[in-house]
């Protein structure tokens, strides 16, 4: 009878670049000033393109919202295979995703 190997779930890592993108967009919305509702509406407009305060479509907000994600995806598909994925060590629970 063959022995069964137990597989662990692996480690949960902190996605550094993803948190950086979201943090930068949240900081950009916060730097615009206004109340918390205005800042949340500005952050939402980065992904919808619709400015709820003035009720107009703003394509520049879509650029702020989606270009960093497209750059991250291209970086993962083009740069990491060519250069190799950076090794951060086994003791640090972070990942570049």
What confidence score (pLDDT) does residue 28 get?
Answer: 94
What confidence score (pLDDT) does residue 52 get?
Answer: 85
Say how far apart CA 49 and CA 37 lie, in whole Å.
Answer: 17
3-state secondary structure of 82: helix
Sketch the domain layout of the chain as residue ranges: 15-81
Longest dimension (CA), the chain: 71
What confidence score (pLDDT) does residue 54 get?
Answer: 87
Average pLDDT of the segment spanning 55-74: 93
Angle (nearest 5°) at CA 60 between 55 and 62: 85
At 3-61, the pLDDT tens digits run 766 666 666 778 888 999 999 999 999 999 899 999 999 999 999 999 888 899 999 99
Note the pTM of the prediction, 2 decimals. 0.75
């Amino acid at each position: 009878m063959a022995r069964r190997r137990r597989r662990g779930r692996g480690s949960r890592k902190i996605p550094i670049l993803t948190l950086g993108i979201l943090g930068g967009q949240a900081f950009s919305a916060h730097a615009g000033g206004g109340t918390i509702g205005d800042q949340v509406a500005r952050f939402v407009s980065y992904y919808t393109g619709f400015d709820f305060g003035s009720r107009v479509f703003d394509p520049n907000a879509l650029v702020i919202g989606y270009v960093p994600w497209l750059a991250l995806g291209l970086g993962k598909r083009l740069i990491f295979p060519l250069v190799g994925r950076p090794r951060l060590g086994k003791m640090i629970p972070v990942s570049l995703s």
